Structure 1
């Protein structure tokens, strides 16, 4: 498998590649992606869950049992549940957010998609995401998977990152540019 961007170079990348290979061999790429998306949302929404994966005081056994119970209550697939157990045993649960990002990149590459990180001041609805995906598809020439984030600090507009390209049409940037121009 061709690893672009040096994903295998990082610790989280090696774990993501291992999970991706197992999921591909089991024909469970999308199932695992769904479980990882649920974990990503749980990390973003729950301070307790974020504390669990970053806790240095939990023993391997306690972390394994706790993460197993969380996986069971979330209804995660068996492969992802076993993978979380391995992470707990190896004391690598803190790498989970980076592993999820690397897995998403691997899956997008496998599907021939580009990944776009889109930041907006307000949540985008499904119609807006679909329209943005269509517009970006014409720009980059292939399907685009959108990872939407909300940052009220940009005030309005969008910031789109695709690979090393960034399109910043945020009001914050426009105001900063105007302020710099007025200073002379």
Structure 2
């Protein structure tokens, strides 16, 4: 489970790297990461915001004005507001979610952190999250950030993905494997 595949290339990657370098020069990496994580959540939660950044119906000026108001209300730092303003002026807001992912991935990569995507049937308790993080840290040898998702169709168990490696210990998969094995018996 060593390594990770979180890098973002192309346009979004170039913007993300430029923001990373600016934030690093200004000693604002954590503040920018916090602002971007909040913005990422806002985008995920708001269909209107997703429409604003993706729709060609809105002009660059409209997008820039609207996103500036949102960031101001959210209390985003000046660096993040200026960066997103440039992205809007350049007509690149559609790529903002990938830019955010790229920034976060670069920050984690440089800090030696790895993200483990964990899908479970029910929400994990804090004790379970801590135990899982500790186990993964021992396996990987670095700091592990756990990104959890809930999928009730798993019935039980976990699916853990770190980079390109995945371990499927869900009850659903075990039942499917048993069903497949039983087809041969008879």
Structure-2-length-normalised TM-score: 0.88
Tell me the distance in 1 between the aligned counterparts of 2:101 and 2:88: 18
How far off is 1:38 after superposition? Answer: 0.6
Give 1:61's aligned residue: 61
Q: Deviations over 1:109-165 (max 9, x none)?
A: 111111212222233343332222111101111111122222333333221111111
- Structure 1 unaligned spans of 5+: none
Range moving further from structure 2, 135-144 or 97-106: 97-106
Q: Looking at both structures, which has the greater relative contact order when contacts are Cα pairs under 8 Å and sequence separation is at least 6? A: 2
How far off is 1:100 after superposition? Answer: 1.8
Give 1:101's aligned residue: 101
SS at match of 2:160: strand
SS at match of 2:22: helix
- Write the mapping of 1:97-136 to structure 2, written as runs, cut at 5 A: 97-136=97-136
Question: RMSD over aligned Cα, in angstroms?
Answer: 1.9
Range moving further from structure 2, 145-154 or 92-101: 145-154
Task: Give aligned pairs, total.
Answer: 181
Q: Deviations over 1:19-75 (max 9, x none)?
A: 111111111111111111111211221111221111111101000000000101111
Give 2:36's aligned residue: 36
Tell me the distance in 1 between the aligned counterparts of 2:155 and 2:53: 32
Larger radius of gyration: 2
Range moving further from structure 2, 171-180 or 71-80: 171-180
